[in-house]
Structure 1
Amino acid sequence: MAPPKNQVAASRRQPQQAGFISSAYKGLRSPENSSLVKSVAIFAVAVTFLQTGFGEFLVPAF
């Protein structure tokens, strides 16, 4: 009788973990965070507008 052959267990590949940028992008694109992302974007646009020369049109002249 022949000796039993060594059986090698098939190794399962673990799914590759997502990088920081791709996981952050997926987090920003999720429907749960859409209102927060929109609020932050509008705030950033408002601050940028007020820092430019166009923001002075909103200041009343004395």
Structure 2
Amino acid sequence: MWLQRLHQKKDEISGKGFLAAYLADKYMLGQGQQGWQQVQQAYKKSDRNQFFTELRKFLRETGYIK
């Protein structure tokens, strides 16, 4: 559902923030690995490596990744 919404409203929302929220939810559900696969498929911009590094750091610092 999250990813469908992202594709539908790509111009109206911040893709990075949306993907971060999606991935945090997946971690809370015990589905972090599946969430990463979906995020990596959805985010193809040139800054993806930096974004993924920063996102992983954020999720650790906020307790989503234990």
TM-score, scaled relative to structure 1:
0.31
Indicate the structure with greater helix content: 2
TM-score, reference length from structure 2? 0.29
Higher RCO, 1 vs 2 (CA within 8 Å, ≥6 residues apart): 2
